[in-house]
Amino acid sequence: MEKYLFWGAFFFAYLINGITGFAGIIFAMPVGMSTIGHETSIAVLNCTGLLASIMIAATSFKHIVWREVVKMCSIMLVFMCVGAWINTIAPLDFLQKIYGVAILVIAARGLFFNKKNKLLPEWLLIVIVAIAGIIQGMFVSGGSFLAIYALQKLKTKEEFRATTTTVWTILNGTYGAYGIIQGDLSGDGWLILLVCIPLLILATWLGGRIQKRFSQEQFIKASYILLIVVAVVLLLK
């Protein structure tokens, strides 16, 4: 039953991802932590995130800003190691609370802060990328923090989409290889992943079709509200 709950949450998460262009893993991870386990969730969602990133990056290659790819990856790789280390020493309940706070911050920023706010200083942007690396290492969910940096540095939505997915291709590929070597994806993990792949493809396709019928802004706002609900559940659990 727990696997089916995870697959249902996974499909919903990537349906939202297909509609809004973000938040796939951040919706799926809390359910995964409660159903299939923290380590298995990281391994499975890292692999599906890698697949989704490769699909987008391969079709948007000419829009990639390689200077920013190098900058983001060099910072995040270091702090991903910090996040992975925290995973080994901190209890799951504590990590869930940190994760809940992180999601709440992301959602509150998306709902209540105007996108036309003045530009953030360079030092703060670097700190945000470092935090994205730590969250990525702990929960494979650093994308929403990285988006704060990328939205300020990349000029067009095409550059944003192509460049950030290239970053995730590199980071998820590195983390995924490490996880497989460590044996994080074994036994039931492979079965869960195999079922997730067609769900990912179907959800992404369906989300793209739904997006054409509804306002992007409405779905983004709804996504942030759902993130707040997820955060509250994690914090009260």
* Rounded-to-integer distance, Cα 84 and Cα 181, Å: 14
Within a 10 A sphere around the Cβ of 118, how many other Cβ atoms?
5
Average pLDDT over residues 186-212: 85
Q: Can you spell out the DSSP letters for 55-123? A: HHHHHSGGG--HHHHHHHHHHHHHHHHHHHHHHHHS-HHHHHHHHHHHHHHHHHHHHHS-TTSPPPPHH
| Joined tokens for residue 229 | 């609900």
pLDDT in tens, 108-150: 877 876 555 567 789 999 999 999 999 888 877 787 788 888 8
Q: What is the CA radius of gyration of the chain?
A: 17
pLDDT in tens, 78-98: 999 999 898 888 887 787 788
Sketch the domain layout of the chain as residue ranges.
Answer: 2-236
* Rounded-to-integer distance, Cα 62 and Cα 189, Å: 35
Measure CA 101 to chain center: 15
pLDDT of residue 100: 82
Average pLDDT over residues 150-177: 82
pLDDT of residue 93: 78
* Rounded-to-integer distance, Cα 100 and Cα 85, Å: 19
Measure CA 207 to chain center: 17
Measure CA 222 to chain center: 17
| Joined tokens for residue 196 | 């997730």
Does 51 or 130 have the greater pLDDT score?
Answer: 130
